[in-house]
Amino acid sequence: MIDATALSEKPVLAGARIRLAPLSIRHAAAFHAAALDPETRRLTGCHHDFTLEEVQQWCAGSADRADRLDLAIEDRETGRYLGDLALMAIDPDNAHGTLRILLVPCETGRGLGTEAIRLLLEYAFDRIRLHRVQLEVFTFNERARRTYERCGFEVEGRMRQALFWEGEWHDVWVMGVVSERGAKG
C-alpha cells in the first residue's frame, strides 16, 4: 500500500556524483535561467515565459506541497544546481505516478540524468511503494528516450501531434517502468 505521507517528506538522496535535495528558493535563479534557454524550452515543450518572481514563488512553495515531490539535482561536491526532477500525479489506488526531469543545458550527455532518475525510481518504488512510474517525451528527443530506456522505461504508446512547436506538430511517446517487487505489496 502507498504511504499517504510519503510525498510530504522531502528527502535528500545521494548518488555517486549528484545529490537530490528538496527544491527551494536557493535554486530559483539557476532554475529560471534554465527555463529561459531555447533548447530547454523546446525539449520540455514550454510555451510560457516564466518570470524570476514566478519561479521564486514555485521554488519557495515546493516544500509545502504534499501532492508532489520536487527535487533539485545538485553536484554532490559543490551543491551547484544541475537541474530538477519531480514525481507527481500520484494515483494511490493504482500505485502509479508521473516523473519529469530537466537538466541544465550544459550538463547533458554526462549520465547525470540517468543517475538522478535511478535514485528517484528507487525512492518511488521502495519508500513510496509505487508500482509504476510513467513519463512523456517528445519523439524528437532521442537522447532523452535512450536515457529513460537505460533506467528501465519502455515506450508504451504514442500521442499523435500533441505538441505544436515552431509551426509543426510533434508526437509524444508515453513511457513507463514497473517495479520489480511485484503488485501493491
- What CATH number did the domain enclosing 114 receive? 3.40.630.30
pLDDT band at 154 (very low <50, low <70, confident <90, very high): very high
- Asked if the structure places residue 112 within a domain, the reply is yes
Q: Which pLDDT score, from 0 to 100, does residue 58 have?
A: 92
Mean pLDDT over 145-154 rounds to 96
Q: Is the pLDDT higher at 48 or at 101?
A: 101
- Asked if the structure places residue 123 within a domain, the reply is yes
Task: Kindly report which listed range (3-12, 57-66, 114-123, 159-168) carries the lowest average pLDDT score.
Answer: 3-12
pLDDT band at 171 (very low <50, low <70, confident <90, very high): very high
Mean pLDDT over 48-74 rounds to 92
Question: Is 175 in contact with 134 (CB distance < 8 Å)?
Answer: yes
- Asked if the structure places residue 7 within a domain, the reply is no
**What whole-number distance in Å separates Cα of residue 74 and Cα of residue 104?**
11
- pLDDT score of 185 more than 70: no
- Asked if the structure places residue 6 within a domain, the reply is no
Q: Which pLDDT score, from 0 to 100, does residue 152 have?
A: 97
Q: Which pLDDT score, from 0 to 100, does residue 79 have?
A: 94
For the stretch 13-54, pLDDT in tens is 999 999 999 999 999 999 999 989 888 888 888 888 889 999
Q: Which pLDDT score, from 0 to 100, does residue 4 have?
A: 58
- Asked if the structure places residue 185 within a domain, the reply is no
Which residues on adjacent β-strands are paired with residue 98? Answer: 88, 134
**What whole-number distance in Å separates Cα of residue 96 and Cα of residue 60?**
26
Handedness of CA 126, 129, 131, 136 (dihedral sign): negative
Please state the domain count of the chain. 1
**What whole-number distance in Å separates Cα of residue 151 and Cα of residue 145?**
10
- pLDDT score of 6 more than 80: no
Q: Dihedral (C-alpha) 140, 143, 147, 150: value to the nearest 10 degrees?
A: 100
**What whole-number distance in Å separates Cα of residue 138 and Cα of residue 173?**
6
**What's the domain range around 83?**
13-178
First to last CA, the chain: 6
- Asked if the structure places residue 184 within a domain, the reply is no
What is the reported pTM? 0.91
- Asked if the structure places residue 98 within a domain, the reply is yes
CB half-sphere exposure, 155, CA atoms < 13 A:
14
Q: Which pLDDT score, from 0 to 100, does residue 3 have?
A: 62
- Asked if the structure places residue 1 within a domain, the reply is no
